[in-house]
Amino acid sequence: MIFDNYEAFAAKGFAPKVIIIGSGPAGVTIARKLAAANIPVAIFEAGAADYTDESQDFYKGTTVGDPYFELDVTRLRQFGGCSNHWAGWCRVMDAVDFEPKAWVPDTGWPIRRSDIEPFLEEVHDILDLVPFRDDELVSDDIRWVQLIKSPAVRFSEKYRDEIAASQSIALVLDTYVTELQGDGKKVTGAKIWSAGKEQGVATADYYLPCTGGLENSRLLLWSNERSNGGVVPHAEALGKYWMEHPQFEGGNAIMENENQFEMDEVSEAFFSPTGEAMEREQILNFGIRFIKMPYHGVKWLTAELACVAPETAEWISSGLGGNLRCAAQLVVGWEQSPRADNFVALSATERDDLGIPRIELHWKKRELEHRTLLNGLRLFGETLADKGYGRVRIADWVVNNEPYPTDQELAGHHHMGGTRMGDDLAKSVVDLHQKVHGMDNLYVGGSSVFTTSGQCNPTTTIVALSCRLGDHLARRITQSAMLDKG
Amino acid sequence: MKTNLTPEALRRRTVLQALLAIPAFALFRHETADVPVQRADGYVVVNGWVLKRSEVA
């Protein structure tokens, strides 16, 4: 069932067991899992079926610290959420991403990759993926990894008909949950604004904010403020440990054999470090995107190389047989350390049209991030040189530790953390089942629960975690119903 | 196209072609090369290039 607004939904008399807030990949995936177990679920989507400027305006905010995207541009407030503009790049976080790292504080998830692996077959169906191949070791330091460029499933397109026909899922558009209300043990209701007016309080047995890696923090911070701590009773980490994937052009490579690595259909290949290399260099995970350059790039690089290592330049040129075709641009995206001083806060001065504080995002890259970028490129360069594949030139601004360029991609539009998963009440918001600490019926879906960010695009891991959460919640609700009957 | 040049001459010509194909100032931009960053494991970083130490000796 799909309703244009809350009034139409209320008139139907549908009583949901679970209220999901947000209809992006996490919200839709969890709803489908619950519906498969015949559990009635309502999805409240603040936006409309399609993009509108009026809806996006609610996402405006400010950033303090490093340059970042406009907050109403880097996400979408409509049915399907950010799946409407994602590129479709897929990879599951590495096993090493879930492990604690002695050289970086506050790392280590309360779950391991093996906890989400049982759901990867479902994830492949949901995201229309071909099977992943295993990573291939290029050296002791560097893995050649696969990043699948999928057709970029738009959840609003792929699942619209299924949801419309479902008797267990009610998708309610134009329905803004302005706050959750709670008593410190349970959420008691969700305050609704729809069709241009307040619509009272919606209730269910369970509540799941799935509003994205920025908005989940905003909703819970505001709700907690309004209820005097009744929604997130252990709020020390709420909004904190926010992370992105910084992304910059870090250098170039020149190759002796242009067919050394199999490229994808747009002439790109991807490389990451081994766990041992990360530990030895005291760095985090990274992904080097190796992009073949146009013809003129290789000439320039060969000339440059000839200045510092003439014989090497000659060898490279010789190997190319005069075609001079294979050079690459190296774009690096990397894991950011989880830090309490990167955080989402409520603005003290800026509010949306309904009077709810806008986001003030505090975000900065630190020394560890630069070390990961520099040492990562150096490791990749040493691997190419050692194997005789080619040579890497690291960009001057990276070598000289100059300020980050402001005319590049900046980051991946990947919003992670803020309601991170963990066992420590002071450093996390949800437990290993994504249930808010101390609350009986409040769960959180999406990348805001990431404990650490890894280096890869987050959607695949978001969907895997959502399958796991949907499975867990369906089991809990079903068992609870059986006990009630017994 | 056939040529009477030796393989060694071909290699040198290839490099020469590459050098001639760029504006001259690019060659001299790093005229005063950075002091190589020495690493214990046999690699150096010169002007950003990650090289084997033997290549710049």
CATH number for the domain that contains residue A203: 3.50.50.60
A170 close to A10: Cβ distance less than 8 angstroms: no
**How many Cα atoms are found within 13 Å in the side-chain-facing hemisphere of A289?**
20
Is A13 among the domain residues?
Answer: yes
| B11-41 per-position pLDDT tens digit | 555 555 554 444 444 444 444 444 455 555 7
At A172, list the tokens.
Answer: 């309610």
Dist CA A398 CA A377 (whole Å): 9
A107 close to A94: Cβ distance less than 8 angstroms: no
Kindly report the average pLDDT of chain A as a whole number: 94
Is A50 among the domain residues?
Answer: yes
Alpha carbon A65 to chain centroid distance? 20
Give the pLDDT of residue A345: 98
Which comes out higher in pLDDT, residue A328 or A332? A332
Is A19 among the domain residues?
Answer: yes
* Test mutation, B6, B16, B45, B50, chain A, max A CBs within 10 A: B50
**Nearest chain B Cα distance for residue A254, angstroms:** 10
Dist CA A467 CA A154 (whole Å): 17
**Distant-in-sequence, close-in-space partners of A424: CB < 8 Å, separation ≥ 6:** none
Count other C-beta atoms under 10 Å from residue A146's C-beta. 17
At A129, list the tokens.
Answer: 């993926």
In this structure, the strands spanning A142-145 and A136-137 are: antiparallel
**Nearest chain B Cα distance for residue A103, angstroms:** 22
ipTM: 0.86
| Chain A touched by B23 (CB under 8 Å) | no
Dist CA A285 CA A73 (whole Å): 27
Give the pLDDT of residue B24: 43
Q: Is residue A156's pLDDT more than 60?
A: yes
In this structure, the strands spanning A187-194 and A197-202 are: antiparallel
Dist CA A293 CA A325 (whole Å): 8
Is A247 among the domain residues?
Answer: no
Is A337 among the domain residues?
Answer: no
A349 close to A264: Cβ distance less than 8 angstroms: no
Is A330 among the domain residues?
Answer: no
A78 close to A156: Cβ distance less than 8 angstroms: yes
Exposure letters A185-206 (e unless 16+ CB within 10 A, then b): ebbbbbbbbbeeeebeebebbb
pTM > 0.80: yes
Nearest residue on chain B to A384, alpha-carbon basis:
B50
Is A323 among the domain residues?
Answer: no
Is A141 among the domain residues?
Answer: no
**How many Cα atoms are found within 13 Å in the side-chain-facing hemisphere of A370?**
14
DSSP annotation of A396 reads H
| A436-456 per-position pLDDT tens digit | 999 999 999 999 999 999 999
**Nearest chain B Cα distance for residue A265, angstroms:** 28
The closest CB to that of B50, out of A303, A320, A378, belongs to A378
Number of structural domains chain A divides into? 1
Give the pLDDT of residue B25: 42
Please give the residue range of the domain that contains residue A23. 2-129+152-242+418-485
